[in-house]
Amino acid sequence: MRVASVVVSASALAGSVLGDGNTIRNAMKTIGRDTAALGDAVSSWSGDLLGALPIVGKAGGLLVALKHGAHTADVSTPLSFDEALTVATATGDLASTVNKTLDALVSARPKFDHLFVTPLILITLDVQRGASNDFSSKVVGKVPKELQSIARQLIKGIDDNFGAAIDAYH
C-alpha cells in the first residue's frame, strides 16, 4: 500500500513538472518581454560606450530566456489542438516584438560602427538566432502533426528577419 502511494505521488509530481501549452505560452511571454526590453534599450541608446552596457545585459537576459523556453518546450507534453492555437496567437505577438527589435538593431548599426563593436553585435545576432531556432523547433515538435506545417510558417518570418538583420551587419 505504501509503495502504491509513493508511485502515485511520484506520478503526480512528474505531471506537475512537465509543461503544457500554458507553460510554453508563459515562456513566450517572458521571451517577448525580454525582447522588447532589448529593443527599448537599443532604441533609447545615445551611442556612448557606457550606454551600450545595458544592451549587453538585455541581450544576455534574452538568451537565458530563450534557452529556458527551449527547455520548457522540450520537457512539455504534446500540445492539444486548442493549446496549439493559443501558442500560435502568442507566436504572432512575439514575432511582432522580435521584428521591431531587429529593426532597432539594424537602425543602430552606425552607432555600433562608431564604437567598433559591430562584430560583437553580429555574433550576438547569430547566437540569438540559433537559440530562437532551437526554441521554435522544440515548440513546433509539440504541436499536433497536422498543424506543424502551419506552425513552421508562423516562425519562418522570425528567422527570415533574423537573416535580414544579420545581412545588415555583414
- CA–CA gap between residue 79 and residue 131 (Å, rounded): 21
Model confidence at 4, pLDDT cuts 50, 70, 90, reads very low
Output the pLDDT for position 11. Answer: 39
Output the pLDDT for position 20. Answer: 87
> Does pTM top 0.75 for this prediction?
yes
Looking at the 3D structure of the chain, how many domains does it have? 1
Whether 6 maps to a domain, the answer reads: no
Model confidence at 19, pLDDT cuts 50, 70, 90, reads confident
Question: Per residue in 129-144, pLDDT tens?
Answer: 999 999 999 999 999 9
Output the pLDDT for position 9. Answer: 36
Whether 77 maps to a domain, the answer reads: yes
Q: Is the pLDDT of residue 52 over 90?
A: yes
Question: Per residue in 60-104, pLDDT tens?
Answer: 999 999 999 999 999 999 999 999 999 999 999 999 999 999 999
Note down the domain range covering 120.
19-168
Closest CA to 26 of 96, 86, 107, 108: 86
Whether 5 maps to a domain, the answer reads: no
Whether 135 maps to a domain, the answer reads: yes
Whether 65 maps to a domain, the answer reads: yes
Whether 23 maps to a domain, the answer reads: yes
Give yes or no for a contact between 134 and 66, defined as CB atoms under 8 angstroms apart.
yes
Identify the residue whose cell numbers are 538568451.
Answer: 63
Q: Is the pLDDT of residue 1 over 90?
A: no
Question: Per residue in 117-129, pLDDT tens?
Answer: 999 999 999 999 9
- CA–CA gap between residue 159 and residue 147 (Å, rounded): 19
